[in-house]
Structure 1
Amino acid sequence: MHLSVGGYISEIPLPAAFLLYREQEGDGAIWRVTYWVDCDENNQTFYAEEGRLYLRADNQPVTQLSYGEDG
């Protein structure tokens, strides 16, 4: 899923990681959403690099989002 973070977004709620998760018994269907993120360069809280979202304050990745290689 492509996620665009606007200039005024200042938090990513925890449920964001589970938006389109589906598990079905029997057929074993599991859908897992992974994100590619871009961020408005004027956002004072976040920035994006190579599809991942980071906090400007300490350069730590936003861990509420799954980026695909997370397992």
Structure 2
Amino acid sequence: FIIAMSWNVVDLLVMDWLLVCTVRPAWLIIPGTENCSSYSDYGHHFKGFLIGCVYTTLMALLFAGVDYAILRFVIWG
């Protein structure tokens, strides 16, 4: 969970906000979308970050439940 959430933060701060919103290198821009407003919209990227946090939390809960079930019913008997 901590690794996935750390990746979400790095993705938001470094990849989205720094590269896409601020620096915006030419190799990153899809041809024909040079003037798209989403590239400089910090809120758009933050919304994606929040969605990623929800999915990360749900997956962590799912895997924790599976791990507990394996321990409880298979290993501990």
Q: TM-score, normalised by structure 2?
A: 0.24
- Greater strand percent: which structure? 1
Q: Which has the higher contact order (CA 8 A, sep 6+)?
A: 2
Structure whose alpha-carbon radius of gyration is higher: 2
